[in-house]
């Protein structure tokens, strides 16, 4: 199956429309100003000299690239001359920054022209190249303008001349993956086989022994090998280079790198038909979702080095769960969904979208979380963390020194439509629910729904002439009961891999009505997750809920929920941009009987309290305060 | 009341005898070898030159001093020529390292003679001086040899000439407190009033505004103000210098500093009768024990900077709870116990001794914990922490770069007897229980007990002639029911401030029998401690229990206890050096029903499991593995 062509999808109303509109009208310009103010745009102008403020960082090109890509996707649906002029002006500078031989990296250009390609492990040349390639393809597809595409083809040709298995080339691969999936995009846009071959080389060379990273250190002794504040050589598992991907049993290392890499692996597997690569993707997906993923779809549990640590280690207050990692999970899962047709990948994608990603941006589109913890005591963050680790926090920030997340969420939101639908010939698959229109081979599907708040999704079929095709509807894994009707009557659907497949001759005006029963479900984690035992999380549909201090007072961990208690679902169009919140009963541990003691003999005494839970994605949009996803449960044996 | 003269107390049998014997016969020599091998002794020889290994650190003098002090206490009860020769040889070097004007600090002597007294905030000159004074007094009292005492009086005189409120002196005070209590010891040993006055000056000058630390930075710009990896100026609350102690509402900052300081404040309050200082001690003690202390008596919850953070913030896995801080708490509490006569201070002292301190040393006396967490997943520590933070760990270590804890525990164990009893004229107070003998004004008290494992304490009274006096017996705060008999018959005791007071004419052979009912008690923390809600800790008497992987398998957080369940108490003389362990029933969360999911709808399904809990102080003496104090509780509302 192929993802929907973005130009054929319009998000028309509801939850995603609100968020996408703000992204287009507020976030894109906010981010442009940040890129400008922090010197990222000037670096391409090559004006920076040693000693000047805004010293360039080796990942800056990627921030600019992702912003261009976000603008490009936006221009597909919303042509806008001003945005296009802004992008073109940046491309002017990029063009001037390209070297004669095609090399293009603003950091090395202004910092040290002699050192390029000497430190693939730490420096991000190939990573930045990949993001610029993605931007180039997107901007070409959006506008038909091929200047950046040509720039990046020249750069890709240069890279292809430097790296590869052939004699005389360096057998290197990036320390931060990204170029693998970007080269496949470039191949798809240009048809140049060498880009696909180079991507396959990067995918399969990675992790072979002896390590290229050892070799480059030997060739250029003294290059930076310092891993943050750890004082150690970066272990190669951190960059997924400890073994070839086909030999990896667990998803390891920096979570964004791991998932960008697997996206590229999936791409190569899809095009080349290499089953060993696809099996590696399936195996590592299984490890991630069964042992290493937060209930929010967030991944990467260890703040210091932004990485997966080990099975079932999912601390809540110190969760890293980087916004970019959840976005990367969507990239990977959407590919796997299209390759395998298995709806479980859609479930993971949907979970990340509704929770661990959208928590990364404020409702007004101007502030961002880098990490997305599942429990916050504002006081703890304020005193212990915020001052020193700007990535952590209880309050979103306008920008970051390492600003990967803001433009990443922008490009996701401006391209969201392409994830909604997939096609295979005349057949259409509905992957995500949200009010939208999709045009495909003379057919128009019009989804109308207040999903994820409402349980009903209507899909209207429009066509000039009756058309036989299969419409497949993803039945989410969280959904234990659903109904499907067509034109109000019974519908014979076949179920396969998490999809309800309806094959028939469709007529203009046919309407599918989906009803997903969405009770409030109390979830529990696997007992090996030591941080969550004795606790439950509230979910409804794909939405994870949390408690905020604003609604429930301080000391959220003193609240207990009876698993059998019911919660009311209240949709409020004025609340947090419009959402369904949960209202119900909890029990608050009594503070009485302690006198002057901090510890006393056990007695489970509670006071009944009303609580209100809000969608996790919308936390920290009011007064700063505490937040909690995993709530203490009353745990009587059954 | 006065603490017992160490020379009048003998620990004769039981728990403390075993630990004290190993301290004397194994730990003291182990630590001497470490001091030697790491260069700490050589630094006093002034042999170190820039570029040589074992670069001196500015706290090294204190490590040596505490070892001398530990040896001195040991010599009181166990004269030993070899130990005395070792100490004398070290004193030779110390003497030669003293400057003509009395100054004495090996670090500045070998590193930079011009910089002394320029950086009180960061450098530890006054701290090291204090420890050497304590050592000098102890060694003088143990052996009658006054060489080190005279050295330290000369140094104290020098310090007195440099610091103070008088014109021409620096109005400074130490960044790391310790000298305050040491000067009082020096005053008590020599009778020189100026030492007491200097101590009072340090106690009361601290925290006055404008800050001396600002002034010294202005005087010598560029001096080190770097606080570990934080990149910030050390906030003055970290060193308890944000306000005068009488204005402090909460116990703040580095926990060892805070408690050494308060020990000195208590000393000055006791001698001068200054009630404002005593009230400050009481207020900060209340804040510590009611809001900032682990159930083990450990304090200091934040690893990075070893400090108190804020009320009710007591994370278990990342607990710092430095061994030295619990020891400092004993120093402070024993002083407050003697000043106020209130048994609650004895409770805190006993709690720390039996738990958070003794966890700091292996049963064989050769390995040490610096931090004493209340939950450990060995895998997490191994991967995330051990490599980088040598202070944290799941396994004790032979030594530390910052080796304050090992000699601190040695000096505590070799002077433990002095904490057992206090006197006021002919009256005797029994503060701690353990087999021991105490001679006081013709009376001999002989305690016989297997406390804390056994509930019975017998105290035999021996005297040549009948003697009227009051014997006060601390009734521990944890003890809800006890009986006291004399010679098997009823006993009329008056109860006051946590003590049972028995005033009568005592005859030779009189025997008091105390029976402390010691059920296994499930404890719960105040609901504001978010890390412990829904959990219970097992205690029996003053002993906190924990679960170890060795006995209970992995995933200890998947175990739940019914608060109403009883536990068997099993004394095993062969187990972990002889102790009572607990045996009972728990419920282990079932792993079934997850299929390939990490999260599923809540269902409290358990499998019954036997569990064994061991004294927390004895964990990590077998195979390395996980450990847990706070166990999930079944939390049905009552």
Predicted confidence (pLDDT) per residue in A87-135, tens digit: 999 999 999 999 999 999 999 999 999 999 999 999 999 999 999 999 9
Q: At what angle do helices B60-77 and B125-143 cross, to 10 degrees?
A: 20
User: A533 and B632 in contact by Cβ < 8 A?
Assistant: yes
Instruction: Name which of A379, A557, A602 is nearest B524 (Cβ-Cβ).
Output: A602
> Which CATH code fits B420-451+456-516?
2.60.40.1180
The percent of residues in chain A predicted with pLDDT above 90, rounded, is 88
Residues A489-508 as b or e (16 or more Cβ within 10 Å = b): eebebeeebbbbbbeeebee
Catalytic residue among A128, A281, A333, A404: A404
Rounded to 5°, angle at Cα A620 from A552 and A625: 50
Substitution target from B231, B296, B519, B527 for chain A, most A beta carbons within 10 A? B527
A594 to chain B: nearest residue by CA? Answer: B526
**C-alpha A72 chain-centroid distance:** 18
Substitution target from B283, B476, B602 for chain A, most A beta carbons within 10 A? B602
Q: Tell me the C-alpha distance between A195 and A181, whole Å.
A: 10
Contacts of B556 in chain A (CB under 8 A): 530
Contacts of A526 in chain B (CB under 8 A): 591, 594, 597-599
User: B634 and A632 in contact by Cβ < 8 A?
Assistant: no
User: B231 and A560 in contact by Cβ < 8 A?
Assistant: no
Of B125, B123, B149, B187, nearest in space to B69 by CA: B149
Residue B523's beta-bridge partner residues? A601, B537
ipTM above 0.90, yes or no: yes
- In this structure, the dihedral spanned by the alpha carbons of residues A128, A130, A132 and A136, taken in order and rounded to 10 degrees, is 180
Could you tell me if B382 lies within 8 Å of chain A, comparing CB atoms? no
The percent of residues in chain B predicted with pLDDT above 90, rounded, is 88
Rg of chain B taking only CA atoms, in angstroms = 25
Give tens-digit pLDDT for A401-419: 888 999 999 999 999 999 9
Of A474, A596, A478, nearest in space to A538 by CA: A478
Q: At what angle do helices B193-205 and B179-190 cross, to 10 degrees?
A: 160
Q: Are B420 and B430 in contact (CB under 8 A)?
A: yes
Total CB pairs under 8 A between chain A and B: 195
User: A524 and B302 in contact by Cβ < 8 A?
Assistant: no
Q: Of A50 and A536, which is predicted with more confidence?
A: A536
Share the mean pLDDT of chain B. Answer: 94
Residues 489 through 528 of chain B touching chain A, CB cutoff 8 Å: 521-528
**Banded pLDDT at B382 (limits 50, 70, 90):** low
Give tens-digit pLDDT for A562-591: 999 999 999 999 999 999 999 999 999 999
DSSP B571: E
Residues A394-418 as b or e (16 or more Cβ within 10 Å = b): bbbbebbeebbbbbbbbbbbbbbbb
Tell me the two tokens of residue A457: 């999704």
Name residues whose C-beta falls within 8 Å of residue B418's C-beta, 6 or more positions apart in sequence. B3, B4, B5, B6, B9
Tell me the two tokens of residue B46: 């002034």
Phi, psi of B496 (to 5 degrees): -150, 125
Rg of chain A taking only CA atoms, in angstroms = 25
Residues A266-298 as b or e (16 or more Cβ within 10 Å = b): bbbbbeeebeebbebbbbbbebbbbbbbbbbbb
| Average pLDDT value for residue range B419-448 | 97
A45 Cα to chain B: minimum distance (Å)? 32
Phi, psi of B551 (to 5 degrees): -95, -25
Catalytic residue among A200, A306, A377, A437: A306
DSSP A357: I
Contacts of A588 in chain B (CB under 8 A): 527
Instruction: Name which of B383, B563, B606 is nearest A602 (Cβ-Cβ).
Output: B563
pLDDT at B394: 81
**C-alpha A340 chain-centroid distance:** 20
pLDDT at B304: 66
B359 Cα to chain A: minimum distance (Å)? 20
Q: Is A99 exposed, middle or buried (0-12, 13-18, 19+ CB in 10 A)?
A: middle
pLDDT at A540: 98
pLDDT at A304: 66
**Banded pLDDT at B193 (limits 50, 70, 90):** very high
B589 to chain A: nearest residue by CA? Answer: A527
**C-alpha B1 chain-centroid distance:** 21
Domain locations in chain A as residue ranges? 1-37+420-451+456-517, 41-239, 244-415, 520-633
pLDDT at B392: 67
Of B208, B338, B323, B174, nearest in space to B266 by CA: B338
Give tens-digit pLDDT for A228-261: 444 455 688 999 999 999 999 999 999 999 999 9
Contacts of B560 in chain A (CB under 8 A): 533-534, 635
User: A556 and B229 in contact by Cβ < 8 A?
Assistant: no
**C-alpha B477 chain-centroid distance:** 19
Q: Tell me the C-alpha distance between B356 and B330, whole Å.
A: 11
Contacts of B603 in chain A (CB under 8 A): 524, 563, 638
User: A524 and B556 in contact by Cβ < 8 A?
Assistant: no
Q: Of A374 and A636, which is predicted with more confidence?
A: A374
Q: Would you tell me how many other CB atoms lie within 10 Å of the CB of residue A265?
A: 30
Catalytic, A306? Answer: yes
Has residue B385 got a pLDDT over 60?
no
Of B354, B332, B356, nearest in space to B344 by CA: B332
Omega of the bond leading into A54 within 30 degrees of 0 (cis): no
Q: Tell me the C-alpha distance between A575 and A582, whole Å.
A: 12
Has residue B13 got a pLDDT over 60?
yes
Q: Is B41 in a helix, a strand, or coil?
A: helix
Substitution target from A591, A598, A601 for chain B, most B beta carbons within 10 A? A598
Q: Would you tell me how many other CB atoms lie within 10 Å of the CB of residue A9?
A: 24
**A81 phi-psi bin (left φ>0, alpha ψ -120 to 50, beta other):** alpha
User: A635 and B604 in contact by Cβ < 8 A?
Assistant: yes
Of B318, B248, B236, nearest in space to B281 by CA: B248
Output the pTM of the full model: 0.95
Active-site positions of B read 306, 404
Q: Is A610 exposed, middle or buried (0-12, 13-18, 19+ CB in 10 A)?
A: exposed
A599 Cα to chain B: minimum distance (Å)? 4
Q: Is A491 in a helix, a strand, or coil?
A: coil
Could you tell me if A230 lies within 8 Å of chain B, comparing CB atoms? yes
DSSP B558: G
Q: Tell me the C-alpha distance between B246 and B203, whole Å.
A: 10
| Average pLDDT value for residue range B485-511 | 96
Substitution target from B300, B344, B518, B534 for chain A, most A beta carbons within 10 A? B534
A486 Cα to chain B: minimum distance (Å)? 31
Could you tell me if B389 lies within 8 Å of chain A, comparing CB atoms? no
Give tens-digit pLDDT for B325-345: 999 999 999 999 999 999 999
Has residue A546 got a pLDDT over 70?
yes
Of A75, A103, A104, A76, nearest in space to A87 by CA: A75
Substitution target from B288, B303, B599, B604 for chain A, most A beta carbons within 10 A? B599
Name residues whose C-beta falls within 8 Å of residue B381's C-beta, 6 or more positions apart in sequence. B392, B393, B394
Has residue B260 got a pLDDT over 50?
yes
User: B384 and A302 in contact by Cβ < 8 A?
Assistant: yes
Has residue A302 got a pLDDT over 90?
no
Give tens-digit pLDDT for A440-476: 999 999 999 999 999 999 999 999 999 899 999 999 9
Give tens-digit pLDDT for B562-608: 999 999 999 999 999 999 999 999 999 999 999 899 999 999 899 99
Q: Is B8 in a helix, a strand, or coil?
A: helix
Q: Of A617 and B393, which is predicted with more confidence?
A: A617
Give tens-digit pLDDT for A315-342: 999 899 999 999 999 999 999 999 999 9
pLDDT at A230: 46
Q: Tell me the C-alpha distance between B86 and B31, whole Å.
A: 12
Could you tell me if B401 lies within 8 Å of chain A, comparing CB atoms? no
Could you tell me if B564 lies within 8 Å of chain A, comparing CB atoms? no
CATH of A1-37+420-451+456-517, one of 3.90.320, 1.20.1300, 2.60.40, 3.30.1480: 2.60.40
**C-alpha B248 chain-centroid distance:** 22
Could you tell me if A609 lies within 8 Å of chain B, comparing CB atoms? no
Instruction: Name which of B286, B383, B635 is nearest A635 (Cβ-Cβ).
Output: B635
Contacts of B229 in chain A (CB under 8 A): 229, 388
B285 to chain A: nearest residue by CA? Answer: A596
Contacts of B523 in chain A (CB under 8 A): 599-602
User: A599 and B636 in contact by Cβ < 8 A?
Assistant: no
Instruction: Name which of B302, B384, B600 is nearest A523 (Cβ-Cβ).
Output: B600
**C-alpha B213 chain-centroid distance:** 28
């Amino acid at each position: 199956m192929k993802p929907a062509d973005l130009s054929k999808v319009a998000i028309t109303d509801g939850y995603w429309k609100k968020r996408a509109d703000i992204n287009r009208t507020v976030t894109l310009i906010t981010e442009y100003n940040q890129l400008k103010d922090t010197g990222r745009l000037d670096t391409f102008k090559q004006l920076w000299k040693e000693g000047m403020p805004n010293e360039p960082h080796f990942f800056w090109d990627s921030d600019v690239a992702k912003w261009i890509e976000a603008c490009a996707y936006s221009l597909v649906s919303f042509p806008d001359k001003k945005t296009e002029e802004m992008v073109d002006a940046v491309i002017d500078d990029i063009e001037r920054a390209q070297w004669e031989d095609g090399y293009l990296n603003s950091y090395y250009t202004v910092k040290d022209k002699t050192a390029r390609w000497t430190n693939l492990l730490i420096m991000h040349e190939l990573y930045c190249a990949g993001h610029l390639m993605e931007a180039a393809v997107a901007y070409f597809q959006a506008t038909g303008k091929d200047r950046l595409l040509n720039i990046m083809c020249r750069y890709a040709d240069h890279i292809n001349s430097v790296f590869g298995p052939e004699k005389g080339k360096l057998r290197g691969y990036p320390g931060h993956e990204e170029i693998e999936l970007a080269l496949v995009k470039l191949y798809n846009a240009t048809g140049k086989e060498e880009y696909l071959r180079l991507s396959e080389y990067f995918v399969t060379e990675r992790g072979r022994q002896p390590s290229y990273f050892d070799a480059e250190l030997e060739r250029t002794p003294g290059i930076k090998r310092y891993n943050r504040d750890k004082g150690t050589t970066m272990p190669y598992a951190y960059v997924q280079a400890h073994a070839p991907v086909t030999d990896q049993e667990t998803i390891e290392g920096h979570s964004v790198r791991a998932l960008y890499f697997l996206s590229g692996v999936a791409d190569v597997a899809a095009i080349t038909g290499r089953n060993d690569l696809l099996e590696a993707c399936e195996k590592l997906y299984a490890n991630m979702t069964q042992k290493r993923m937060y209930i929010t779809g967030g991944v990467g549990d260890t703040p210091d080095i932004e990485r997966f640590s080990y099975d079932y280690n999912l601390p809540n207050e110190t969760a890293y769960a980087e916004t970019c990692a959840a976005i990367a999970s969507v990239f990977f899962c959407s590919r796997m969904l299209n390759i395998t047709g298995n709806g479980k990948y859609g479930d993971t994608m949907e979970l990340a979208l509704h929770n661990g990603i959208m928590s990364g941006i404020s409702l007004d589109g101007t502030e961002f979380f880098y990490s997305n913890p599942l429990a916050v005591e504002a006081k703890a963050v304020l005193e212990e963390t915020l001052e020193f680790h700007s990535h952590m926090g209880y309050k979103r920030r306008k920008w970051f020194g390492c600003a990967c997340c803001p433009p990443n969420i922008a490009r996701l939101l401006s391209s969201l439509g392409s994830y909604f639908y997939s096609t295979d010939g005349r057949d259409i698959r509905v992957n995500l629910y949200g009010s939208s229109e999709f045009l495909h081979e003379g057919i128009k599907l019009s989804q109308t729904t207040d999903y994820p708040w409402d349980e009903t999704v209507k899909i209207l079929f429009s066509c000039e002439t009756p058309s036989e095709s299969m419409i497949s509807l993803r039945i989410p894994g969280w959904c234990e009961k659903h109904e499907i009707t067509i034109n109000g009557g019974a519908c014979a659907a076949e179920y396969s891999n998490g999809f309800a497949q309806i094959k028939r001759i469709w007529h203009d005006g046919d309407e599918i009505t989906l009803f997903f029963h969405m009770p409030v479900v109390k979830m529990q984690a696997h007992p090996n997750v030591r941080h969550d035992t004795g606790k439950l999380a509230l979910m409804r549909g794909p939405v994870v809920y949390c408690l905020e201090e604003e609604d429930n007072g301080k000391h959220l961990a003193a609240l207990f929920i009876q698993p059998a208690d019911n919660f009311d679902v209240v949709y409020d169009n004025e609340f947090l941009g419009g959402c369904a919140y949960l209202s119900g009963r909890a029990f608050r541990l009594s503070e009485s009987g302690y006198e002057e003691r901090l510890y006393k003999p056990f007695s489970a005494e509670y006071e009944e309290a009303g609580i209100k839970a809000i969608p996790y994605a919308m936390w920290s949009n009011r007064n700063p305060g505490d937040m909690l996803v995993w709530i203490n449960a009353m745990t009587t044996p059954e």
